[in-house]
């Protein structure tokens, strides 16, 4: 290997102070990158929702998965759960300020996905057909 290929040519994207910081970042990214989390936050971005409405409006989510997702989001401080003392009890879910700040990031990712979905679909089709040739705008490096 030549000398120019042995050194680091760019700065790292994420600078880690220590392993604990890296682990904490990874845990947060795991939470916000979860499919159900993204869909639930997207729905709550439209306003306060009750459990059944969330279940109806998040396609494919089971009652158990919605319960787990909401509990995790509440634990992480992204969602607040309000219980009203009525019979039967009325429970509503809303985004916290931290949760609302995440909607801007998710919107940017959704915009990127909408803009590049055709390129991704075409690239997948080429890959699946065995040609594997990169499409327009794709990296020119080969498969690993």
Q: What is the pLDDT of residue 21?
A: 66
Give residue-wise pLDDT tens across range 36-56: 999 999 999 999 999 999 999
Q: Is there a contact between 75 and 27 (Cβ–Cβ < 8 Å)?
A: no
Q: Average pLDDT, stretch 106-117?
A: 89
Give residue-wise pLDDT tens across range 60-82: 999 999 999 999 999 999 999 99
Three-state SS string across the chain, please?
Answer: CCHHHCCCCCCCCCCCCCHHHHHHHHHHHHHHCCHHHHHHHHHHCCCCEEHHHHHHHCCCCCHHHHHHHHHHHHHCCCEEEEEECCCCCEEEEEECHHHHHHHHHHHHHHHHHHHHHHHHHHHHHHHHHCCCCCCCCCCCCCCC
In the chain the domains, ranked by start, together with CATH numbers, are 19-129 (1.10.10.10)
- HSE on the CB side for 129, CA within 13 Å? 10
């Amino acid at each position: 290997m030549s000398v120019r290929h042995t050194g680091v040519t760019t700065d790292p994207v994420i600078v880690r102070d220590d392993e604990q910081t890296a682990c904490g970042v990874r845990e947060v990214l795991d939470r916000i990158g979860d499919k159900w989390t993204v869909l639930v936050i997207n729905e709550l971005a439209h306003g306060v929702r009750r459990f059944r409405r969330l279940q109806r409006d998040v396609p494919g989510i089971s009652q158990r998965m919605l319960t787990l997702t909401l509990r995790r989001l509440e634990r992480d401080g992204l969602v607040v759960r309000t219980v009203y003392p009525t019979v039967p009890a009325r429970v509503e879910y809303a985004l916290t300020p931290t949760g609302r700040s995440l909607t801007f990031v998710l919107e940017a990712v959704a915009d990127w996905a909408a803009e590049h979905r055709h390129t991704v679909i075409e690239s997948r089709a080429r890959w699946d057909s065995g040609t594997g040739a990169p499409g327009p705008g794709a990296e020119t490096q080969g498969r690993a």
